[in-house]
Amino acid sequence: QVQLVESGGGLAQAGGSLRLSCVASGRTFSAYTMGWFRQAPGKEREFVAAITWSGGSLYYEDSVKGRFTISVDNAKNMVYLQMNSLKPEDTAVYYCAAALLHTGRVLFLHSEANYWGQGTQVTVSS
């Protein structure tokens, strides 16, 4: 059974930090691009960041550049999202996703994801 399971969400104050984790299991994900998306109430799910398992290719949405860092641990099949300098507008449910892309790009649309986690809530208070 293929699973992506997120953890690490919670409540943080503006300017604070949280680290999200996603463990991938049930198949070999080495060919997949891993990403984080988020969805705020009343809004569409949006791309946040993505990475290849080699760690050699990264992509960030403009609003999180310089504040968020995506990384992988191949030995543990883990994907992380370190979120610093959090803002109230970062409040959302954050989802881990895996996409099998047949191009050299890293950015992918939510419609291209093959697998999703259940999501973890991040709330940033002002």
SS3 per residue for the chain:
CCEEEEECCEEEECCCCEEEEEEEECCCCCCCEEEEEEECCCCCCEEEEEEECCCCCEEECHHHCCCEEEEEEHHHCEEEEEECCCCHHHCEEEEEEEECCCCCCCCCCHHHCCEECCCEEEEEEC
What integer pLDDT is reported at residue 65 of this predicted model? 97
pLDDT in tens, the chain (126 residues): 899 999 999 999 999 999 999 999 999 998 999 999 999 999 999 999 999 988 889 999 999 999 999 999 999 999 999 999 999 999 999 999 999 998 778 889 999 999 999 999 999 999
Distance CA 36, CA 51 (A): 9
Find, among 96, 93, 80, the residue nearest to 123 by Cα: 93
Distance CA 111, CA 68 (A): 23
Q: How are beta strands 10-13 and 120-125 bridged, if at all?
A: parallel
